[in-house]
Structure 1
Amino acid sequence: MVTSTVSWLSHQLVVAYAADMPILLEDLDLRKAERLLCQQALSRGGSIIKAAELLGITRHALKRRMIKHRIDWPQAAAPSAREHLVTTPEPVAPIDR
C-alpha cells in the first residue's frame, strides 16, 4: 500500500513540476506535496470526480486522501445560484373581519 502511494505520488510530482521547477530533495515533504496536488486538482477540476480523473485515481481514493489531509470540499464557496433565487416572502397583513 505504501509503495503504491509513493509511486503514484512520485509520478504526479514529476508530471506537476517537471516544466515549472526542479524538485529539491531537502525541500520535499511527501505529505505536503500530496495535499497540495489534491487541492490543485480539486480547484482545476471543480468536482471530486474531475479531480480524481486529473490525478489518475478513483474518486474513492481521492476522498480517502481528502479525509487524511483534512481537505474540505467544496471550500467555503460563494453562494450558489440557487441561493440567490430564494427570496424571503413579504409579510402579509392580517385581514380584519
Structure 2
Amino acid sequence: MGLLKLRKNKKFNYTPRYYDDKGEGNPFEIKHKFDEYRKTVGANKGIKGKFNDALDDLKNNPNREVNKRILVIVAVLLLIFLFIIDFDLSIFLPK
C-alpha cells in the first residue's frame, strides 16, 4: 500500500505559447535561490541519505563559528536536562 513511501509529483512537458527563449530559463520553474549550493535539496532519500548529506554539509561548511555555537547550545541544553532529572554530576569529577 506504500504507507512509508511518498508519491512523486507528475511532470508535464508544457511550454507556454508566447515563451521567449532569450529569457532566464523557464518562467514556470520554481527554484529557491540557495538550492544550487545545498546537497540536501533534491530527490526524496531515505533517512540515512538525508543524515549523510546533512553531515557532509556540516563538515564542508566554511563558517566554523556556527558549528561551535551549535555545540555550545547542545552542551548547555544537555546540562539543563541533566539538572532537571537530578543526575549526579559528581561521578565525572576526580575524588
Q: What's the TM-score, normalizing by structure 1?
A: 0.27
Query: Greater helix percent: which structure?
Result: 1
Q: Which TM-score applies when normalising by structure 2? A: 0.27
Q: Which has the larger radius of gyration?
A: 2
Larger relative contact order (Cα-Cα within 8 Å, sequence gap ≥ 6): 1
